[in-house]
Amino acid sequence: MKTKKTGQQFDTTFYKEIYEGLTAFPKYISSKWFYDKEGDHLFQQIMHLPEYYLTGCEYEILDTHTAEIASLFSGKDGFELVELGAGDGKKTKVLLNHLVAKNIPVTYKPIDISQNALDNLEQDLQISLPDLQVVTQQGTYFEVLEKLCKRSGQKKTVIMVLGSNIGNLNHEHAVSFLSDIQKCMTADDLLFMGFDQKKDPTVILNAYNDSQGVTEAFNKNVLKRINKSLDANFDCEAFKHWPTYDPETGTTKSFLVSTKAQKVNLNKLNLEINLSPWESIHTEISQKYDDHIVDWLARQSGLRVIQQFEDSKRYFTDYVFKKL
């Protein structure tokens, strides 16, 4: 796909968005570009860190309420389970194992921006659940929803978004994203989505600043990816990983802060940028929620909450939505 911006031609969306983010003020890089092969590997490590509670809490929800969730999802002729941002599918496998064991007909459609993650997931499912019908698709949420809206079948569809991935969007963009999903849903379809809840600010901040430095490496890896993919020369060690959390807005942000002046050439973009000492590059947002915010987001998007499931600590909630 080729796009243009003020006379500049880009070979890929990655090129375009990196150009736009690094020529903006303040500078930013979308967190969706974290996930190359090394980024996938680092995120797998993050999910097993004691400070990163999100994975364990949502796994508990799916493990505790498996039968109830499966019954909610099931249609009279089976259903399609479309998972946006599937990753390694660790949590979803709890549900998939139950569906296969109970002979509930389901077609699993994992979607991810990382082809590496999809390949690994498909290979694993071929071994662990050989009877499960799996159809993978690489792409962004926008590309996937565009195809989903054009489906011709009448089978019930459940769209699943785990891990509080919606938290990577501010409220305005979250409403837009939810509205796009709602427009692709029929009256029988469901949206099952995880939302990380507001809680002790220390617990939240520690999840993005672990003691082993894995999250720091994960953030800095996007610079290494840019260096490799765009023939650039970021000095990756001259950056501090700096997460913040605002309990008033429920917003966690992560930054890479340059500890020195840098002149960076991105040769494949024919671009040179300058970083001042202590200048930041915004890399991630992770929004936290409560029931009132989720209800408001739903109403703004033409959706309604019909059920919700929470973990024993009440750190995390999976909400089930239908069209209004």
pLDDT at 270 over 70: yes
What is the pLDDT confidence band of residue 77, given thresholds at 50, 70 and 90?
confident
**Burial zone of 169 (CB within 10 Å; 0-12 exposed, 13-18 middle, 19+ buried):** middle
Give the whole-angstrom CA distance, residue 19 versus residue 33: 13
Contacts 24+ apart (CB under 8 A), 289-293: 289/167, 289/195, 289/196, 289/197, 289/198, 289/250, 289/317, 290/197, 290/198, 290/250, 291/317, 293/171, 293/250
pLDDT, tens digit, for every residue of 141-193? Answer: 777 787 777 776 678 999 999 999 999 999 999 999 999 999 999 999 999 99
What is the pLDDT confidence band of residue 54, given thresholds at 50, 70 and 90?
very high
What is the pLDDT confidence band of residue 136, given thresholds at 50, 70 and 90?
very high
In the chain, the domains with their CATH numbers are 3-49+203-287 (no CATH), 65-197+289-323 (3.40.50.150)
pLDDT of residue 7: 56
pLDDT of residue 5: 45
pLDDT, tens digit, for every residue of 231-262? Answer: 999 999 999 999 999 999 999 999 999 999 99
Tokens 């109830």, located at residue: 68
- Average pLDDT of the chain is 93
Indicate yes or no: pTM above 0.75.
yes
What is the pLDDT confidence band of residue 204, given thresholds at 50, 70 and 90?
very high
